[in-house]
Amino acid sequence: MPRPSAPARPEAGLIETTIERIVPGGFGLAHGAGRTLFVAAAAPGDVVRVRLTRDRGSIAEARIVEIVAPGPDRIAPPFPAVAACGAADFAHLTYPAQLAAKHAMLADALQRIGDIEPPADLSVTPSPQEWGYRSRAEWNYDPMEPALGYLHAGSRAVCDLPEDPLVVSELGACFLELRSRMNAGTLPEKPVAFRAAAGDAISLAPNLDGGEPREITIEAAGERLRLDARCFFQANLPVTDVVVVEALRLAEPPTSGESLALDLYAGVGLFTLPLARRFRRVIGVEADPLAAAYAAGNALGADLPGVRMAAQPVEEWLDAAYRSYGRPPFLLLDPPRAGLSRSALRGVLRLRPSRIAYVSCDPATLARDLKAVLAEGYTLEGLAAFDMFPQTHHVESVAHLRRITET
């Protein structure tokens, strides 16, 4: 009688572990082989076999080789191609689980990095649309493959996509037109990063006819803003509207004295214009001269003469601003993902604004900067979070700070 076959052994070098929770950066936290593991594309409760991709002793990054038992929140990504390249790194989670993970990541960063207890009422406002929400995108084109799509996470390789399910329908049609041209061999012969934006029309940079990108109008937060695809702008317009409302919730001009608001990293004027409807004077600071020019034109078109734009780096402007604008009633910050540089942070603290609204797209840098501001005589009066980018680990937040000491 033949002996029963032995169960298959796991592949050598694999570690079996259970995902405990999602941590900042979107990784699943687990433990195994004497290490703390950060596992990509994981779901809480997953029992997985992983292979290390980066070993740093007691801490390692890993990728899933086999899902032994899926966690309760794991689903099959509806668009596998965009999930596989990392552009939708949360697409394997149910939408409620995505929101819960973003809440946990923000709370974790506040506690671990900022030594800040998260507000009891902190929640993540969901996006009205879980897919097809982006009105701005950047697609990379590699003529050697050829391939058109997003870059693979941690790589310069282009993930060739048959469609882009993350963007609004108008941009989806633009993407398919680019694919058609790629297949016909009529796109440029060199690699290109196409930037696209949708408003009352489509703006594409570089423009395929060789001219300047088309100017478009986007309606956001009750304002009409002119821009083109070269300018930064928030990608999820319905969520952008509520972020602006939250950012300006405590932006009330003083009953006496200087009625001045400062908008740092102003872009094309998303916050600048609504601030100018509350404050007599608003100074917007934006390093990109193109965006600053659009912001000035948008203020002029909205008949808001109290707006003045400074087209220079925030750090440079802040270096001397305290001499002229010290102790402004309200200051709004909307820095890039890296948060405030040391010199920008010093400049803001030297101004000593009465109130600060800090709009952030990264929990870790927000927590780091809040810790520094709170140590200089401010209190955290409120914090709200928003799902600007469904299907990804990114979370937008707005922190409200008030100065409590005048020394």
HSE, side-chain direction, 13 A CA sphere, residue 233: 36
Q: Mean pLDDT, the chain, as a whole number?
A: 94
Distance between CA 306 and CA 344 in Å, rounded? 24
What is the structure's pLDDT at 406? 67
Q: Which residue has the tokens 């990804």?
A: 392
Residue 265 and residue 384 in one domain: yes
Evaluate whether residue 399 is within a structural domain: yes
Token pair of 298 as six digits? 């948008």
CATH of the domain at 54: 2.40.50.140
Report pLDDT digits (tens) over 317-355.
Answer: 999 898 889 899 999 999 999 999 999 999 999 999 999
Full residue range of the structural domain in which residue 23 is found: 15-74
Question: What letter represents residue 361's amino acid?
Answer: C
Alpha-carbon gap, residue 211 to 78, rounded angstroms: 37
Has residue 79 been placed in a domain?
A: no
Phi-psi domain of 153 (left: phi exceeds 0; alpha: psi -120 through 50; beta: other)? beta
C-alpha to C-alpha distance for 308 and 299, rounded to whole angstroms? 9
The stretch 66-92 carries a mean pLDDT of: 96
183 lies in the same domain as 238 = no
Q: Is the pLDDT of residue 274 over 90?
A: yes
Based on the domain organization, do 171 and 193 belong to the same domain?
A: yes
> Same structural domain for residues 305 and 369?
yes
Considering the chain, what percentage of its residues have pLDDT values greater than 70?
A: 96
Please check whether residues 324 and 389 belong to one and the same domain. yes
Tell whether the model's pLDDT for residue 378 goes beyond 80: yes
Question: Do 364 and 253 fall within a single domain?
Answer: yes
Domain contains 226: no
What pLDDT, on a 0 to 100 scale, did the predictor assign at position 12?
57
Euclidean distance between CA atoms 356 and 263, whole angstroms: 10
Residues 115 and 153 grouped into a single domain: no
CA distance 403 to 373: 9
pLDDT surpassing 70 at residue 205: yes
Q: Is the pLDDT of residue 396 over 80?
A: yes
Please tell me whether residues 239 and 199 are part of one structural domain: no
Confidence of residue 286 (pLDDT cuts 50, 70, 90): very high
In a domain, 87, yes or no: no
Pair 172, 249 in one domain: no
Q: What is the mean pLDDT of residues 138-150?
A: 97
pLDDT band (50, 70, 90) for residue 407: low
Exposed e or buried b per residue across 134-166, where buried means at least 16 C-beta atoms within 10 angstroms of its C-beta: bbbbebbbbbeeebbbbbeeeeeebbbbeebbb
Q: What is the pLDDT of residue 11?
A: 60
Cβ distance 164 to 170 under 8 Å? no
Q: Which of 187, 219, 251 is the last residue of a domain?
A: 219
Q: What is the mean pLDDT of residues 268-292?
A: 97
pLDDT surpassing 80 at residue 269: yes
Residue 13: pLDDT band with limits 50, 70, 90: confident
Provide, rounded to the nearest whole percent, the portion of the chain with pLDDT above 90. Answer: 90
Number of domains the chain contains: 3
Catalytic residue among 159, 174, 231, 361: 361
Angle at CA of residue 65, ends 95 and 41, nearest 5°: 25
179-183, 250-254, 264-268, 288-292: which has the minimum mean pLDDT?
250-254
> Is residue 340 assigned to a domain?
yes
Does 242 share its domain with 376?
Answer: yes
Contacts of 40 (CB under 8 A, 6+ apart): 26, 27, 28, 61, 62, 63, 64, 86, 89, 153
pLDDT of residue 253: 87
Average pLDDT over residues 364-382: 97
- Segment 198-216 shows an average pLDDT of 94
What value does the mean pLDDT take over residues 42-59? 94
Tell me if 82 is assigned to some domain.
no
Residues 298-323 pLDDT 10s: 999 999 999 999 999 999 999 989 88
Which residue, 58, 74, 90, sits at the end of a domain? 74
Which of 195, 219, 243 is the C-terminal boundary of a domain?
A: 219
Top-confidence residue, 182 or 252: 182
Q: Is residue 2 part of a domain?
A: no
Average pLDDT of span 40-60 = 94
pLDDT attached to residue 6: 44
**3-class secondary structure, 398:** strand
As beta bridge partners, residue 216 has: 227
Q: What is the 3-state secondary structure (H, E, C) of 220-236?
A: ECCEEEEECCCCCCCCC
What is the separation, in whole angstroms, between the first and last Cα of the chain?
A: 90
Of the candidates 43, 164, 35, the one whose C-alpha atom is nearest the C-alpha of residue 98 is 43
- Co-location of 342 and 399 in the same domain: yes
What mean pLDDT do residues 83-97 have? 96
What is residue 5's predicted lDDT score, i.e. its pLDDT? 45
**Residue 10 pLDDT exceeds 80:** no
- The answer to whether residue 360 is domain-embedded is yes
Whether residue 381 sits in one domain with residue 307: yes
The answer to whether the beta carbons of residues 81 and 44 sit under 8 Å apart is no
Q: What is the pTM of this model?
A: 0.93
**Is residue 231 annotated as a catalytic residue, yes or no?**
no
